[in-house]
Amino acid sequence: MTDTTTRTTAASRLFTPARLGPLHLPNRLVMAPLTRNRATADGVPTPMMATYYAQRASAGLIIAEASTPNAVGQTYPNITAIHNAAHVAGWRQVTDAVHAAGGRMFLQLQHGGRVGHPDNSGLVPLAPSPIPLPETIHTPSGRRPAVVPREMTSDDIRTTVADFAAAARNALAAGFAGVEVHSANGHLLHQFLAKNTNHRTDAYGGTVAGRIRFVAEVVRAVADAIGPDRVGLRISPGNTVNGIQEDDTDDIYPALIAALADSGLAYLHVAFADPDQPVYQEIRKHWPGTLIANPVLPDPLPADGGRHESERLLSAGADLIALGRPFLANPDLVARLRTHAPLNPVRSKYLMYVGGETGYTDYPSLPAR
Ligand SMILES: Cc1cc2nc3c(=O)[nH]c(=O)nc-3n(C[C@H](O)[C@H](O)[C@H](O)COP(=O)(O)O)c2cc1C
């Protein structure tokens, strides 16, 4: 097979249907979770969020932005939450709008762990060990030094696992088809996996088996709560964001995957997936289910919006492709990629995380043809 043939075959697969848990997806393009800080101070989704997500309903699947499963898990100001009735009602407006526009949605569940601040949540953050984030944190009054988080007790661990399960039930009540457990990018679950953030001497630390235990317990509790085919897991092997140093990436992730391989999850989602990396190849080889790959793209984005990298990942065995910034800037990304139409660039980094409709719902779609 020539290179050109490979590319053509893979290219056409991006726009072919796929099954994902209970869902039929019309294409293999997934909108990656993107925190946009447009919720109320209490984490309730706002009406403009319904507009924003409905504009992107042609994605095969939308994974809605990180939502905190309890108050202490809040990372930054104005992020979404999913632990009370107001959150469920707010999200229901969003899922109704997306369903009316023909779309499908999962919700990402994220506990920030040490990536949090009392000025944001009103609480001292919890973490595997009392090791602060080596960075400042965005708060309503600007960037503040991180505080030392409180080491989680066994009770905290049990409560947090239960909060994830309850949040998953809330997500279904809010109209989501399923949830994605966030174990990537240096947040609480990732802090349990990594050696430099997990210095515990109990059953949840130390060896690889100890450090993967909390993640596996959260995933199993969420799967028990809503059914495994409605649950995905996001990981970012080797990613150093939020001060993470794993040291043993090549051991942790194969062990985590082996622990969850027979659990019947809807998918595994690898952020910053590089098909040339041995750990990614191991993951693909040993994960028996659907694999969503989020390619590594430069900043600014390439002119093709990541299509070439997406096709390379499909050729290397990914089932679905998640894109973040390309969907942020292009509500009709699927149509644009399919027709090789020009793409809107991301207009302002600042407006990614702060603001109202500007830089949020005002990215244009191409005129309908
Ligand atoms: C504005 C913004 C918000 C993000 N929020 C989240 C999030 O809530 N959860 C998460 O797992 N990743 C988050 N990410 C990471 C993206 O999901 C994605 O992995 C990253 O942007 C790389 O994909 P891309 O090159 O297609 O944008 C965010 C990225 C950006 C740019």
Q: Is 81 in the pocket of ligand 1 (CB under 6 A)?
A: no
Does 361 map to a domain? no
For 108, list phi and psi in degrees, rounded to 5.
Answer: -85, 130
Does 364 map to a domain? no
Does 360 map to a domain? no
* Residue closest to 245 by CA, chosen among 313, 207, 210, 197: 197
Q: Is 343 in the pocket of ligand 1 (CB under 6 A)?
A: no
Q: Is 189 in the pocket of ligand 1 (CB under 6 A)?
A: no
How much is the pLDDT for 351?
81
* Residue closest to 74 by CA, chosen among 161, 187, 170, 213: 187
Paired residues of 64 in beta bridges: 107
Q: Is 187 in the pocket of ligand 1 (CB under 6 A)?
A: no
Residue 262 neighbours by CB distance under 10 Å:
10
Q: Is 55 in the pocket of ligand 1 (CB under 6 A)?
A: no
Query: Are the C-beta atoms of 178 and 232 separated by less than 8 Å?
Result: yes
pLDDT tens string, the chain, 369 residues long: the values are 333 333 444 447 999 999 999 999 999 999 999 999 999 999 999 999 999 999 999 999 999 999 999 999 999 999 999 999 999 999 999 999 999 999 999 999 999 999 999 999 999 999 999 999 999 999 999 999 999 999 999 999 999 999 999 999 999 999 999 999 999 999 999 999 999 999 999 999 999 999 999 999 999 999 999 999 999 999 999 999 999 999 999 999 999 999 999 999 999 999 999 999 999 999 999 999 999 999 999 999 999 999 999 999 999 999 999 999 999 999 999 999 999 999 999 998 778 888 899 999 999 999 876
Does 365 map to a domain? no
Does 369 map to a domain? no
Does 195 map to a domain? yes
Domain with 8 in it: 3-353
Cα of 325 from ligand 1 centre, angstroms? 7
How much is the pLDDT for 10?
46
Atom of ligand 1 nearest to the CA of 185: 11
In three-state secondary structure terms, 263 is: helix
* Residue closest to 171 by CA, chosen among 268, 69, 70: 69
Q: Is 190 in the pocket of ligand 1 (CB under 6 A)?
A: no
> Which residues neighbour 121 within 8 Å (Cβ) at sequence distance 6 or greater?
71, 72, 73, 74
Amino acid at 214: F
For 171, list phi and psi in degrees, rounded to 5.
Answer: -60, -40
Cα of 187 from ligand 1 centre, angstroms? 13
CA 58 vs. chain centroid, Å, equals 19
Q: Is 294 in the pocket of ligand 1 (CB under 6 A)?
A: yes
Q: Is 33 in the pocket of ligand 1 (CB under 6 A)?
A: yes
In three-state secondary structure terms, 109 is: strand
Helices vs strands, H then E, count in the chain:
13, 15
Handedness of CA 114, 233, 260, 219 (dihedral sign): positive
Could you list the beta-strand ranges (E) of the chain.
18-20, 23-25, 29-31, 61-68, 80-81, 105-109, 126-127, 136-139, 142-145, 150-151, 178-183, 231-235, 267-273, 291-295, 320-323
Task: Tell the residue nearest (CA) to atom 4 of ligand 1.
Answer: 34
For 100, list phi and psi in degrees, rounded to 5.
Answer: -60, -30
Q: Is 225 in the pocket of ligand 1 (CB under 6 A)?
A: no
Does 39 map to a domain? yes
Give CA–CA dist 225/90, Å, rounded: 22
Helix residue spans in 316-355 (DSSP H): 325-329, 333-339, 350-353
Task: Tell the residue nearest (CA) to atom 20 of ligand 1.
Answer: 324
Q: Which of 325, 334, 347, 363 to mutate to test the pocket of ligand 1 (most atoms within 8 A of CB)?
A: 325
Paired sense of beta strands 142-145 and 136-139, if any:
antiparallel
Does 367 map to a domain? no
Report the CATH number at residue 306.
3.20.20.70
Q: Which of 34, 234, 239 to mutate to test the pocket of ligand 1 (most atoms within 8 A of CB)?
A: 34
How much is the pLDDT for 369?
65
Residue 345 neighbours by CB distance under 10 Å:
14
Query: Are the C-beta atoms of 187 and 110 separated by less than 8 Å?
Result: yes
Structural domain count, the chain: 1
* Residue closest to 299 by CA, chosen among 336, 324, 335: 324
Give CA–CA dist 257/233, Å, rounded: 10
